[in-house]
């Protein structure tokens, strides 16, 4: 059973986390250091009704690109990676 049984991860939740990663990057720079923030979503939902939808994934991916935060998504039938990520296969199933 999914952690979010009978529910799905909403794009606003992921976008909020991407904003936090972006803010952390700038905070770390204030300490004269550097990080590479990465958003990784592992969608373990068993049913399509619980998985993130294509439009939601597109919205989140676009937002992550705007903030220069690499976005990776792995679901039951689909993996998404930034266009410039090496050695990651993308699938359109599901």
The number of angstroms, rounded, from the C-alpha of 55 to the middle of its chain's C-alpha atoms is 13
* Each residue's pLDDT expressed in tens, for the chain with a length of 94 residues: 445 556 788 999 999 999 999 999 999 999 999 999 999 999 988 888 888 999 999 999 999 999 999 999 998 888 988 876 655 444 444 4
Q: Measured on CA atoms in the order 60, 62, 65, 67, is the torsion positive or negative?
A: negative
Closest Cα to residue 66, out of 19, 29, 7, 10?
19
Helix (H, G, I), strand (E, B) or coil at 69: coil
From residue 6, alpha-carbon distances to 2, 9, 52, 80 in Å are: 8, 11, 12, 23
Q: Which DSSP letter does residue 43 get?
A: -
Task: Provide the whole-model pTM.
Answer: 0.80
């Amino acid at each position: 059973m999914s952690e979010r049984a009978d529910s799905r991860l909403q794009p606003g939740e992921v976008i909020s986390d991407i904003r936090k990663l972006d803010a952390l990057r700038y905070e770390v720079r204030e300490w004269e250091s550097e990080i590479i923030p990465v958003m990784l979503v592992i969608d373990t939902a068993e049913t399509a009704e619980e998985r993130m939808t294509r439009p939601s994934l597109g919205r989140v991916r676009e937002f992550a690109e705007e903030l220069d935060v690499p976005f990776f998504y792995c679901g039951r039938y689909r993996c998404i990676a930034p266009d410039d990520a090496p050695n990651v296969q993308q699938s359109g199933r599901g």
